[in-house]
């Protein structure tokens, strides 16, 4: 296949196991990966989108530039890097349910930087210079299995660094090996000389010295293979601490107690086994775990012995008084499952984690949209001052849609509706749209009332437009009656 490919306007999906662009190939047949039309293959700055539930492997044996990722819901992506030139990787958009694995082709492969702008479940298995976690990704879960030189995590995303555990295991093994070396039985002198473990030799051939079983061969000397090498297994665990969290984004510290107390393998793995939307682990070691509340509800935390997961302990907690997380600079006041303090009569959308949610006139937010423009086309004019039933566990930014923008979009949609498109099922929805348009026009007229002389022409135009909207409603009423 040619190394130079020109992508015109449109959407392109690479699906074949043999599809290759330069040094970039798709390793899974029928995997749902889309190469963004924004990508400039000549510069090798690529944007790759994994659609919802898309799974597969991407192989980058010689990639050197910047890779931008957009990961859909429940997508599972594995990227293998094979270069020492240290490419960059940015997760620009991602759903919290997405999984990403970054692997080095060999021990020499390395990445210059991994940046998380959105939450994702990330596994780092390649040498990395910098891992940077931004505010929008503070609910990410990161597992580090290879060397990461620098980590920027000021928003306390969950990070499990297995390389530290590996270092501890290596140190333990070295200590045990050293003890075994010290405890090895020394060899007896060839000529019956003094043996380091036993009594002195009385002459050249006497066995009363080093050869004596009570001397050099004795277990009380240096020859015992059991000395310092016995292992005491953990028989049970107990978790201690108050697992209940009653403050917004509050923390709970849970400690683990080993039995017997002199157990030699004191290593555990922590996991939230239920209520993952209510709480997450933000730090852990072999002695304790710190849990942060996300939403109101219940959660269960488990600690299991690393080399014997059948030995575990659990503790359950309740999370209360959690509020919606608002992005810095967002309007509104965060509450439990709601955002209050908004002005009525305007349209609103919520932007969060790569998605946009339209807010209905009742304050309930609708299904997610992929773009802000799409969401604006579905908003209603808020009749109250709150957005309701909002997920506490996500971070949102409230965007108020000004009336001009709302009118242009709604009018564009409404006027595109042909009479033949009217059905019983969409009749009420279109009627509500017409009503909202009328309300918006009236609101604009009221705002312009103090400058009526200057804007007289505009008001007349709006009145004419409103008449058309009203006539549209009358037309629909007539059709429904028929």
Question: Which segments within 121-209 are labelled E, that is strand?
Answer: 121-125, 127-133, 141-144, 148-152, 158-161
pLDDT-wise least confident of 5-19, 81-95, 117-131, 279-293? 5-19
* Interacting residues of 184 by C-beta distance below 8 A, sequence separation 6+: 222, 223, 225
**For 269-309, how does the pLDDT look when each residue is reduced to its tens digit (9 = 90+)?**
999 999 988 999 999 999 999 999 999 999 999 999 999 99
Which residue matches tokens 């393998």?
Answer: 265
| pLDDT at residue 304, rounded to an integer | 95
Q: State how beta strands 347-352 and 395-401 pair.
A: antiparallel
Q: How far out from the chain centre does Cα 359 lie?
A: 25
What is the CATH topology of the domain spanning 236-319? Answer: Immunoglobulin-like (2.60.40)
| pLDDT at residue 320, rounded to an integer | 94
**For 345-362, how does the pLDDT look when each residue is reduced to its tens digit (9 = 90+)?**
889 999 987 889 999 989
Tell me how far CA of residue 374 lies from CA of 25, 275, 311, 357, in angstroms: 33, 32, 51, 9
Residue 36 has pLDDT above 90, yes or no: no
Which residue matches tokens 């190394």?
Answer: 3
Nearest to 21 by CA among 30, 12, 9: 12
* Interacting residues of 259 by C-beta distance below 8 A, sequence separation 6+: 234, 235, 236, 237, 238
Single pTM value for the model: 0.43
Could you please report the per-residue DSSP string of 358-390? EE-TTSBEEEEESSHHHHHTT----SSS-BBS-
User: With the CA atoms of 22, 24, 29 and 31 taken in that order, what torsion angle do they form, in degrees rounded to the nearest 10?
Assistant: -130
**Domain ranges across the chain:** 12-164, 236-319, 325-401, 417-481
Residue with the larger pLDDT of the pair 481 and 359: 359
Please say whether the beta carbons of 133 and 274 come within 8 A: no
């Amino acid at each position: 296949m040619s190394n130079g490919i020109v992508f015109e306007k449109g959407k392109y999906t690479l699906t074949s196991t043999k599809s290759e662009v330069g040094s970039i190939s798709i390793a899974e047949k029928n995997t749902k990966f889309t190469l963004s039309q924004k990508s400039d293959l000549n510069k090798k700055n690529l944007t790759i989108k994994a659609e919802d539930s898309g799974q597969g492997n991407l192989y980058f044996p010689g990639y050197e530039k910047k890779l931008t990722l957009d990961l859909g819901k429940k997508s599972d992506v594995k990227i293998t890097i094979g270069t020492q030139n240290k490419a960059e990787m940015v997760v620009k958009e991602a759903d919290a349910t997405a999984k990403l694995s970054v692997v080095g082709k060999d021990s020499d492969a390395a990445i210059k930087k991994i940046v998380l702008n959105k939450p994702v479940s990330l596994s780092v298995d390649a040498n990395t210079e910098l891992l940077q976690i931004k505010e929008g990704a503070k609910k990410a879960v990161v597992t580090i299995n290879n060397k990461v030189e620098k980590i920027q995590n000021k928003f306390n995303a969950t990070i499990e660094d297995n390389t530290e555990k590996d270092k501890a295991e290596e140190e333990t093994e070295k200590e045990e090996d050293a003890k075994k070396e010290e405890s090895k039985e020394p060899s007896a002198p060839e000529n019956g000389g003094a043996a380091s473990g036993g009594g002195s030799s009385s002459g050249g051939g006497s066995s009363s010295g080093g050869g004596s079983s009570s001397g050099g061969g004795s277990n009380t000397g240096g020859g015992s293979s059991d000395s310092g090498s016995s292992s005491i297994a953990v028989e049970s665990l107990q978790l201690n601490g108050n697992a209940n969290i009653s403050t917004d984004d509050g923390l709970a510290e849970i400690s683990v107690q080993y039995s017997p107390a002199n157990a030699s393998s004191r290593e555990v793995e922590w996991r939230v086994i239920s209520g993952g939307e209510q709480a997450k682990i933000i730090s852990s070691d072999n002695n304790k775990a710190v849990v942060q509340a996300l939403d109101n509800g219940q959660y269960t935390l488990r600690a299991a012995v690393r080399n014997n997961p059948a030995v575990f302990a659990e503790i359950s907690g309740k999370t209360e008084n959690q509020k919606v997380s608002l992005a810095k600079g967002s309007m509104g006041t965060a509450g439990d499952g709601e955002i209050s303090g908004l002005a009525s009569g305007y349209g609103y959308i919520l932007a969060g984690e790569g998605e946009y949610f339209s807010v209905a006139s009742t304050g309930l937010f609708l299904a997610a949209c992929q773009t802000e423009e799409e969401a604006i086309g579905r908003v209603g004019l808020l009749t109250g001052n709150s957005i309701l039933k909002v997920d506490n566990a996500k971070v949102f930014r409230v965007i108020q849609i000004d009336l001009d923008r709302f009118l242009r979009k709604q009018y564009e949609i409404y006027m595109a509706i042909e009479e033949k498109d009217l059905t019983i099922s969409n009749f009420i929805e279109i009627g509500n749209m017409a009503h909202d348009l009328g309300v918006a026009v009236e609101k604009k007229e009221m705002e312009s009332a103090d400058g009526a002389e200057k804007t007289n022409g505009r008001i007349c135009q709006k009145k004419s437009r409103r008449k058309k909207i009203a006539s549209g409603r009358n037309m629909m009423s007539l059709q429904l009656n028929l």
